[in-house]
Amino acid sequence: MKKEKVGIVTFHMAENFGSALQAFALEHFLIEIGCQPEIINCIYKADMEKYRLFRTNIYSRRLRALVADVLYFSRNLKRKKSFADFRKRYLTVSDDMYDMGRDEMSRLNQKYDVFICGSDQIWNLNCTNEFVSEFFLSFAHNEKRKIAYAPSMPSSVPSMYHADIKKAIERLDFVSVREENTIQYLNGEIGIEKEIVHVVDPTLLLESDTYIRTFGLMKHDSKYIFVYILEDESPLIRQIVDLALETSEETGLQIRYVYSRIIKRFKSGEYMLGIGPTEFLDMIYNASYVITNSFHASVFSIHFEVPFCVFKRKGSQSRMTGLLENLGLQNNLYSEGDYGWMGSKADSFTKEKAGRMARESKEYLWNSLGKRQTL
């Protein structure tokens, strides 16, 4: 039987661990169920500005950015190479590149049988700063099957975009989102008259052993606390650093961390900026504890059964709390003065719950792709 060619539109070029790994996970799952997926090499250049080695577009208003780009050039260059190597080895990306908003993408209809948009923040207008129709598959012809799998959207978007969003989403054949509260917002506030399903992030579609086997993860003897911090408000960063130092003092373990800049208070810590997605997984797999404000660092701490503490971020608070509540891991959400997280990690019971959640999402993909069997 001929395999359906599936074109995926997502944030595959972002030098962000979660973005890279969700792209890998969705593609890998589609291969598992008998599809022939390919990530369409379409780039929204405005969103890629922050990954430039020299962010000349912001120097006039942020002189410190120039200083940072010079100071961290070698590490940022290493990061860029690490992510490029990951994409080359683990992602199937189209040879042709498309500049969203400029290049004509309708010719893609001649190449693919099905289109999927998602996952990640592709519907988050706080990331794109405007409505980008290609992330809603505007270029796909009416007769093509058009599927949204787990895109994220902020809790509200400017009303000036409501009509565009409504029209674009109602044109899709199957719609799912990553946050449950997005369903109510789209159906209620924006007025979309279409069934919208809640599904898990693609990184939860795969078994833990798949990551261990695919990326050759192996246990080693070193003991440490892995701290992964995404950019956030200063008070929250201070809280994360405080907890990491307290945990290090309590356990005697070294801190290894990834952040956009060196944290001076981590005097004996090992700064890891420059590692790629594979090394990121290895850092979590071998950590004694993980402290983070990242959704995906939490997901992989669950996959690898590592105790972790996660801090709420404005951009991912709902999906973070929802996931932990569904899995019975509320103790892993940061609460001042509470160290119960140090003894809380995923187990076989947790994995069973996660498996049930993933099965429903897998069935959604099966059905939306027109497959007859279910998982």
Vertex 15: Cα angle to 9 and 20 (nearest 5): 50
Rounded to whole angstroms, the Cα distance separating 18 from 245 reads: 25
Beta strands 36-43 and 5-9, pairing class: parallel
Give the mean pLDDT per block of 10 residues along the chain (375 residues). 91 96 98 97 89 93 94 98 98 96 93 95 89 97 97 88 97 96 94 96 97 97 96 94 98 98 97 98 98 97 98 79 93 95 96 95 95 58
Provide the pLDDT for residue 374.
47
Buried b (16+ CB within 10 A) or exposed e, 338-348: eeebbebbbee
Provide the pLDDT for residue 39.
98
Provide the pLDDT for residue 259.
98
Beta strands 224-228 and 254-258, pairing class: parallel
Provide the pLDDT for residue 101.
86
Provide the pLDDT for residue 316.
66
Rounded to whole angstroms, the Cα distance separating 192 from 160 reads: 15
Are 271 and 257 in contact, with CB atoms under 8 Å apart?
yes
Q: What is the token pair recorded at 58?
A: 């912001």
